[in-house]
């Protein structure tokens, strides 16, 4: 019987970092915010989940339930 490696435990809290629109690659530019479903535009405040790299508008990030990432479920904290 082959033992399976235990899957790494997801972090409970992860950092949300501010991202500059100019630093986004072409794929990220056309992704939409999972809260409002609008794409990101220059001049907007953008935050990224450090765990799964999901992007949020800063105003939408504040609407997240319990500050949990909609993609990976990790609780996000702005330092």
7: in domain: no
CA distance 19 to 56: 10
Confidence of residue 78 (pLDDT cuts 50, 70, 90): confident
Query: Is residue 63 assigned to a domain?
Result: yes
Instruction: Give strand pairing partners of 14.
Output: 76
Q: Are 45 and 65 in contact (CB under 8 A)?
A: no
In tens, the pLDDT along 42-75 reads 999 999 999 999 999 999 999 998 899 999 999 9
Q: What is the pLDDT of residue 12?
A: 82
What pLDDT is stored for residue 65 in this prediction? 87
**Parent domain of 34:** 13-77
Predicted pLDDT of residue 27? 86
pLDDT digits (tens, 9 = 90+) for 24-37: 998 888 899 999 99
Q: Look at the chain and report how many structural domains it folds into.
A: 1
Is residue 68 one of the residues assigned to a domain? Answer: yes
Tell me, yes or no, whether 4 lies in a domain: no
């Amino acid at each position: 019987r082959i033992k399976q490696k235990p899957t790494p435990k997801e972090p409970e809290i992860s950092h949300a970092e501010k991202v500059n629109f100019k630093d986004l690659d072409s794929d990220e530019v056309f992704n939409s915010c999972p809260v409002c479903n609008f794409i990101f535009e220059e001049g907007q405040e953008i935050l990224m989940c450090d765990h799964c790299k999901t992007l949020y508008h800063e105003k939408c990030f504040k609407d997240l339930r319990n500050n949990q990432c909609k993609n990976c479920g990790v609780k996000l904290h702005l330092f």
